[in-house]
Amino acid sequence: MSNTLGIVICFAYVFSMIGLAEGLRRWRGYGSGFTRKVIHIGVGMMSWFIPFLFTSPWPFVFACVAFMVINLIDWRYGLIGSMQSKHRSNLGTVYFPFAAAVVALVFWQQPPLMVAALMPLTWGDGMAPVIGAAYGRRFYHVHTSTRTVEGSLAFFVAGFIFTWLALWVMPGSPEITPVGAILPALVIMAVTTLIEAVSIWGLDNLAVTAAAIVILKLWPF
């Protein structure tokens, strides 16, 4: 597949996720707190296909930079309702593609690690506020943010499942067994859950991914 076609597919996929979220917001009445996470998880799962869409990380980095600009414009002018955060200081939608670009550059030759590094952010951070809003009863406060123990637990569980699956299922080097993927996934999620619990201003999108990168780089696979 050519890199140009890969970029076209990448943009089409992301905008289809935004269209799905907008449909849920306008026609089903879901709030932006939910629809943001539909986009968040959907776009994050695209990482599973990146090695098959591009021959090098640079076309993907180009796409990430383009989405950083698009998301920054949207953050400034509020063009896409399904992507809006109630906290104006939250630049998480801008940090997400930046984090994805860095992960691709670091782990391009190691697809299992590349995908695994993004799963705490994709599924952990995606599920935490949704479960917290629906089932949260035990609240705690960090700066101006209110979080729940239930949301943090959802972060850990969802992130662990998909980090483990990425390490095991994703083809490429290093080859990791299902059992061998358990401990690194547990360590990654223990660390990133603590980081997410105390992060503010959307910086968890950077800090969580940075922690996952460091652990995966140091882990003796």
Helix (H) or strand (E) holding 146: strand 145-148
Distance from C-alpha of 111 to C-alpha of 99, rounded to nearest angstrom:
16
Are the CB atoms for 101 and 206 separated by under 8 Å? no
For 140-152, the pLDDT digits (tens) are 877 667 789 999 9
Give the bridge partners for 148, in sequence order: 139
Are the CB atoms for 148 and 137 separated by under 8 Å? yes
User: Cis peptide before 57, with omega less than 30 degrees from 0?
Assistant: no
For 88-141, the pLDDT digits (tens) are 666 878 999 999 999 999 999 999 999 999 999 999 999 998 999 889 888 887
Domain count, the chain: 1
Q: Is 187 helix (H, G, I), strand (E, B) or coil?
A: helix
Residue with tokens 């907008």: 22
Are the CB atoms for 135 and 146 separated by under 8 Å? no
Q: Is residue 143 left, alpha or beta, with left meaning phi > 0 and alpha meaning psi from -120 to 50?
A: left
For 43-66, the pLDDT digits (tens) are 999 999 999 999 999 999 999 999
Tokens of 203: 């910086």
Q: With 80 as the cut, is the pLDDT of residue 167 above it?
A: yes
Distance from C-alpha of 180 to C-alpha of 116, rounded to nearest angstrom:
14
Tokens of 21: 């979220």
**pLDDT class for 179, splitting at 50, 70, 90?**
very high
- Whole-prediction pTM value? 0.92
- Can you give the residue range of the structural domain that contains 67? 3-218
Among the residues of the chain, which ranges form H helices? 3-27, 32-44, 50-53, 57-77, 92-107, 111-119, 125-135, 149-169, 182-198, 204-218
